[in-house]
């Protein structure tokens, strides 16, 4: 048996197991394997994803199956800190907004960074979180990506799956999203069609799928089927993608409250079709669930 120290955190119910690299090294298995073990809700700690900080001067993960992170960190960091992020199925994800808020709080409290606003290297590029005095975390999520080849997306804006055809809005926040506006039951649609859209041929790297009901010019309801996770209580990048799509379709203003199953976040995007390079800002909670000695 091997004992490692883990921390469980959640942002709007989107939950994560976080551990230091030194604890990971004790396991003797790949990060992908560890993520599957730790995130299992019956035989593990249970989580939507696993996060491991990468600090300057630290060695990279060494495994027989090379991950994108080995390339990312091969020449060290140009930012304050980096992260390894794995979904519950062992796959890597370019970004996770709720995970970033939890990560920001964790590394600041652990003393891995010594300032409340800092830069993080991810597979989606450099992300900049800021710990606010009210306990919330604000994250500069960068500019949305709308070019089909960069999302990546290969198809039309009408997607047919099973017995339905949907009008879709593809967008990337470092990871691919398929936003669908509807007046129907958003959770039922996500549960029924999310798994099918995730693996649709239009999305060569699979996709997160958001079903969105516009409640007013400043508020929406969103339910999500996350790539590699399934139905989750919240998705930060999905909330950002939703607001980008709603602004560009003139359905909302530039500052929107996004209501998810686990709570709400505030998303701000000042972009227009003539100025798509404006960054998206997300503000929400990040909370500790527990600290534990976990036995593998």
Whether residue 55 is found in the same domain as residue 163 = no
Residue positions counted in the chain: 296
- Do 182 and 260 lie in a common domain? yes
Residues 98/107, Cβ–Cβ less than 8 Å: no
Same domain, 134 and 41: yes
Catalytic residue among 96, 178, 229, 240: 96
Dihedral sign, CA of 249, 222, 147, 266? positive
96 as an active site residue: the answer is: yes
Contacts of 114 (CB under 8 A, 6+ apart): none
State how beta strands 280-284 and 14-18 pair.
Answer: unpaired
Q: Please tell me the total count of domains within the chain.
A: 2
Active-site residue, selected from the candidate residues 102, 229, 235, 285: 235
In angstroms, the CA 175 to CA 237 distance is 8
Same-domain status, 159 and 242:
yes
130 and 19 together in one domain: yes
User: Would you write out the chain's pLDDT as a tens digit for each of its 296 residues?
Assistant: 889 999 999 999 999 999 999 999 999 999 999 999 999 999 999 999 999 999 987 877 766 566 899 888 887 899 999 999 999 999 998 899 999 999 999 999 999 999 999 999 999 999 999 999 999 999 999 999 999 999 999 999 999 999 999 999 999 999 999 999 999 999 999 999 999 999 999 999 999 999 999 999 999 999 999 998 899 999 999 999 999 999 999 999 999 999 999 999 999 999 887 788 999 999 999 999 999 999 98
At 54 the three-state DSSP class reads: strand
* Residue 153 sits in the same domain as residue 229: yes
On the CB side of 90, how many CA atoms lie within 13 Å of its CA? Answer: 10
On whether both 53 and 128 belong to a single domain, the answer is yes
User: Residues 30, 79: one domain?
Assistant: yes
Whichever domain contains 56, its CATH number is: 3.10.310.10
By residue range, what is the domain housing residue 127?
Answer: 3-140+286-295
On whether both 177 and 103 belong to a single domain, the answer is no
Six-digit token string for 83: 């992260």
Task: For residues 68 and 195, state if they share a domain.
Answer: no
Residues 74 and 169 in one domain: no
Measure the CA–CA gap between 54 and 113, rounded to whole angstroms.
11
235 belongs to the catalytic site: yes
- CA 52 distance to own-chain centroid: 14
Q: Are residues 17 and 122 in the same domain?
A: yes
């Amino acid at each position: 048996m091997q004992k490692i120290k883990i921390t469980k955190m959640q942002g709007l119910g989107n939950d994560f197991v976080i551990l230091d690299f030194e604890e990971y090294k004790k396991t003797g298995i790949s990060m992908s394997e560890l993520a599957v073990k730790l995130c299992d809700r019956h035989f593990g700690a249970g989580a939507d994803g696993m996060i491991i900080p990468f600090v300057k001067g630290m060695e990279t993960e060494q495994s027989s199956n090379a991950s994108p992170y080995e390339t990312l960190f091969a020449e060290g960091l140009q930012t304050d800190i980096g992260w390894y992020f794995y979904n519950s199925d062992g796959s890597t994800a370019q970004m996770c907004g709720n995970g970033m808020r939890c990560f920001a709080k964790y590394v600041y409290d652990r003393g891995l960074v010594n300032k409340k606003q800092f830069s993080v290297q991810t597979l989606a590029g450099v992300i900049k979180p800021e710990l606010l005095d009210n306990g919330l975390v604000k994250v500069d999520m960068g500019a949305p990506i709308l070019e089909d080849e960069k999302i990546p997306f290969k198809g039309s804006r009408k997607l047919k799956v099973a017995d339905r055809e949907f009008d879709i809005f593809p967008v990337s926040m470092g990871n691919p999203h398929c936003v669908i506006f509807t007046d129907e039951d958003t959770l039922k649609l996500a549960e029924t069609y999310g798994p099918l859209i995730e693996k649709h041929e239009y999305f060569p790297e699979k996709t997160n799928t958001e079903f969105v009901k516009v409640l007013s010019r400043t508020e929406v309801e969103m339910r999500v089927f996350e790539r590699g996770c399934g139905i989750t209580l919240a998705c930060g990048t999905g909330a950002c993608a939703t607001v980008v799509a709603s602004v560009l379709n003139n359905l909302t203003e530039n500052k929107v409250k996004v209501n998810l199953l686990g709570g709400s976040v505030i998303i701000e995007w000042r972009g227009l079709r003539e100025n798509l390079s404006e960054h998206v800002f997300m503000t929400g909670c990040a909370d500790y669930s527990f600290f534990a000695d976990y036995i593998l």
